[in-house]
């Protein structure tokens, strides 16, 4: 492995991992179906309200009620999207895209509550009730807090007011527990609209449409919370070993207790470990090869949960695995490729490497960026794979001495006539910076694949 920043010695050849070739699915064929469906539903619902507008409704009041109806639709879409996992990945192009749309529709829905609140008060309705108003206040406050809590870590630290900084610092487990109340507040909003909305009282068509939206959102929430844990396929595993790879990184080997999980290299799973945050599933990338009997997960101790997990997990502990998820698959791309791993983001690439066989036909520059040589877990295995597969060229970047990896650096050996596909996994800030740099360098967005997924 070429090292930028400091030379590393060659450790000698080792045997490479092999596995049967797996025919990849064509995610690109249907990746736009989900977003197109969401946009069509939102636009169609607004058009229905405009067509069915009852006579005599003041324009500001009607637009306020329309904003509220669209807000509820978007929030219901958010609940439906997350309930579709794992079935809806193909329609959006991967689990991360489902999450992005889930988050985006929720934020858009809450933002629409602002014009709703401002406009519905312009023409008071004599039929309004105190109960209806109280339900609206509860729903609005609850949804605002949950959205702010979800967005708090993304806001600039220096500009956060005190309460936002406190929300940003709370643990993932506490946030997740509160986030699961979203469906409750949406149900309260449905009741609020049914009681106070004068437009619904004058249009049977809109009453039916409003009821269908509410049933879809609340039904999806009930399904995810009460039904899905019992019907979505899950697999029982037992911890076989916990191997330290570095000071804060470990690889967990899981033995199947029954049926073995089938997955594509590059995917991840949601795992519940007995005795750790009972009932909460956490995402972990798979590092084992597709043909391996054991399921290997690579974990970096970077929070309360993972700190305890790496320190306290023992052989024999039970694990329940849900998945697999994700469409991070280099076999979807053409021959010339660039792979970029940042820190623990090397994990899906290790799964790829452990699944390679003699039929590997891609021409790849693999860039692996870490702070220092001690952080380069799996370096020996990556070097061995490169020796076995000459078309896989590896480059180690030590960012503490060489600086951050840039798009110009990864494209330096790409000939002008080549059109590489780029696959990246690493810290979100690094991925976003590289993505912007690659676009400026002329690499089409469609040829850059990275999973835009964070815990919230």
pLDDT tier for residue 396 given thresholds of 50, 70 and 90 = very high
pLDDT tier for residue 450 given thresholds of 50, 70 and 90 = confident
Picking from 271, 306, 325, the residue at the C-terminal end of a domain is: 325
Is it the case that residue 45 has pLDDT exceeding 90? Answer: yes
Is it the case that residue 143 has pLDDT exceeding 50? Answer: yes
Work out the percent of the chain whose per-residue pLDDT is above 90.
43
Give the mean pLDDT of 283-298.
92
User: Residue 340 sits in which domain range?
Assistant: 2-22+330-450
Answer yes or no: is 313 within a domain.
yes
Which pLDDT belongs to residue 128? 63
Which pLDDT belongs to residue 227? 87
Picking from 230, 256, 285, the residue at the C-terminal end of a domain is: 230
Residue 392, beta-bridge partner list: 364
5: left (phi over 0), alpha (psi -120 to 50) or beta: left
Answer yes or no: is 241 within a domain.
yes
Give the mean pLDDT of 240-247.
86
* Tens digits of residue pLDDT in 412-436: 888 878 889 999 999 888 998 999 9
Query: Are 251 and 315 in the same domain?
Result: yes
Please state, in angstroms and rounded to a whole number, the distance separating the CA atoms of residues 269 and 288: 12
pLDDT tier for residue 17 given thresholds of 50, 70 and 90 = very low
Give the mean pLDDT of 254-267.
92
Query: Are 65 and 198 in the same domain?
Result: yes
Q: Provide the sign of the torsion angle of the four alpha carbons 89, 97, 41, 134, taken in this order.
A: positive
Which pLDDT belongs to residue 169? 64
Please state, in angstroms and rounded to a whole number, the distance separating the CA atoms of residues 25 and 332: 8
Give the mean pLDDT of 193-205.
90
Query: Are 238 and 342 in the same domain?
Result: no
Indicate which CATH number applies to the domain containing 439: 3.40.50.80
DSSP label at residue 419: -
Answer yes or no: is 430 within a domain.
yes
Query: Are 108 and 6 in the same domain?
Result: no
Answer yes or no: is 455 within a domain.
no
Q: For residue 365, what are the contacts with CB-CB under 8 A and spacing of at least 6?
A: 337, 338, 339, 393, 395, 410, 413, 414
Instruction: Return the SS3 of 376.
Output: coil
Query: Are 203 and 65 in the same domain?
Result: yes
Give the mean pLDDT of 141-154.
76
Which pLDDT belongs to residue 20? 31
Picking from 286, 301, 325, the residue at the C-terminal end of a domain is: 325
Answer yes or no: is 204 within a domain.
yes
Query: Are 221 and 243 in the same domain?
Result: no
Query: Are 79 and 198 in the same domain?
Result: yes
pLDDT tier for residue 207 given thresholds of 50, 70 and 90 = very high
Mean pLDDT of the chain: 83
Query: Are 294 and 312 in the same domain?
Result: yes
Cβ atoms < 10 Å from Cβ of 278: 8
Please state, in angstroms and rounded to a whole number, the distance separating the CA atoms of residues 211 and 397: 56
Query: Are 423 and 285 in the same domain?
Result: no
Which pLDDT belongs to residue 368? 93
Which pLDDT belongs to residue 170? 65
Q: Which residue has the higher pLDDT, 175 or 357?
A: 357
Answer yes or no: is 136 within a domain.
yes
Which pLDDT belongs to residue 245? 85
The candidate with the shortest Cα–Cα distance to 406, out of 1, 2, 4, is 4
**pTM of this structure:** 0.76
Give the mean pLDDT of 102-127.
84
Which pLDDT belongs to residue 5? 44
Query: Are 44 and 169 in the same domain?
Result: yes
Is it the case that residue 49 has pLDDT exceeding 90? Answer: yes
pLDDT tier for residue 19 given thresholds of 50, 70 and 90 = very low
Query: Are 105 and 251 in the same domain?
Result: no
Answer yes or no: is 219 within a domain.
yes
pLDDT tier for residue 208 given thresholds of 50, 70 and 90 = very high
Is it the case that residue 130 has pLDDT exceeding 80? Answer: no
Answer yes or no: is 456 within a domain.
no
Query: Are 81 and 155 in the same domain?
Result: yes
Work out the percent of the chain whose per-residue pLDDT is above 70.
82
Q: Which residue has the higher pLDDT, 391 or 164?
A: 391
Which pLDDT belongs to residue 13? 30
pLDDT tier for residue 25 given thresholds of 50, 70 and 90 = very low
Count of domains forming the chain:
3
Indicate which CATH number applies to the domain containing 295: 2.40.30.10
């Amino acid at each position: 492995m070429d090292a930028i920043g400091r030379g590393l010695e060659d450790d000698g050849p080792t045997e490479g991992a092999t596995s049967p070739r797996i025919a990849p699915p064509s995610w690109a064929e249907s990746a736009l179906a989900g977003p197109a469906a969401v946009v069509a539903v939102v636009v169609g619902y607004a058009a229905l309200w405009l067509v069915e507008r009852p006579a005599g409704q003041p324009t500001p009041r009607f637009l306020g009620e329309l904003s509220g109806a669209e807000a509820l639709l978007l929030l219901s879409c958010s609940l439906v999207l997350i309930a579709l996992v794992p079935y809806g990945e193909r329609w959006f192009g991967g689990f991360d895209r489902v999450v992005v749309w889930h988050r985006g529709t929720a934020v858009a829905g809450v933002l629409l509550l602002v014009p709703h609140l401002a406009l519905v008060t312009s023409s008071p309705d004599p039929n309004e009730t105190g109960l209806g108003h109280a339900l609206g206040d509860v729903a609005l406050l609850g949804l605002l807090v949950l959205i702010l809590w979800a967005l708090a870590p993304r806001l600039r630290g220096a500009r956060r007011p005190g309460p936002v900084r406190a929300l940003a610092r709370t643990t993932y487990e506490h946030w997740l527990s509160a986030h699961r109340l979203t469906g409750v507040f949406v149900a309260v909003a449905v009741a609020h609209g049914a009681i106070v909305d004068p437009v619904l009282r004058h249009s049977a068509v809109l009453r039916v449409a409003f009821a269908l939206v509410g049933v879809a959102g609340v039904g999806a929430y009930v399904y995810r919370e009460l039904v899905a844990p019992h019907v979505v396929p899950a697999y029982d595993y037992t911890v076989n070993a916990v191997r330290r790879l570095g000071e804060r990184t470990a690889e967990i080997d899981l033995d199947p207790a029954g049926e073995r999980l089938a997955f594509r290299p590059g995917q991840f799973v949601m795992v519940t470990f007995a005795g750790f945050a009972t009932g909460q599933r956490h995402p972990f990338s798979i590092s084992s090869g597709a043909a391996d009997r054991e399921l290997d997960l690579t974990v970096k101790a970077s929070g309360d949960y993972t700190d305890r997990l790496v320190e306290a997990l023992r052989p024999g502990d039970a694990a329940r695995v849900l998945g697999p998820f994700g469409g991070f698959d280099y076999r979807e791309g053409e021959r010339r490729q660039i792979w970029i791993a940042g820190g623990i983001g090397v994990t899906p690439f290790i799964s790829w490497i452990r699944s390679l066989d003699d039929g590997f036909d891609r021409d790849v520059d693999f860039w692996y960026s870490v702070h220092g040589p001690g952080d380069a877990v799996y370096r020996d295995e990556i070097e061995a794979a490169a020796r076995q597969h000459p078309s896989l060229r590896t480059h180690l970047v030590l960012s503490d001495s060489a600086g951050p990896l840039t798009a110009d650096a990864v494209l330096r050996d790409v000939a002008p006539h080549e059109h590489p596909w780029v696959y990246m996994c690493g810290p979100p800030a690094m991925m976003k910076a590289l993505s912007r740099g690659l676009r400026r360098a002329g690499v089409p967005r469609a040829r850059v694949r990275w999973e835009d997924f964070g815990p919230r």
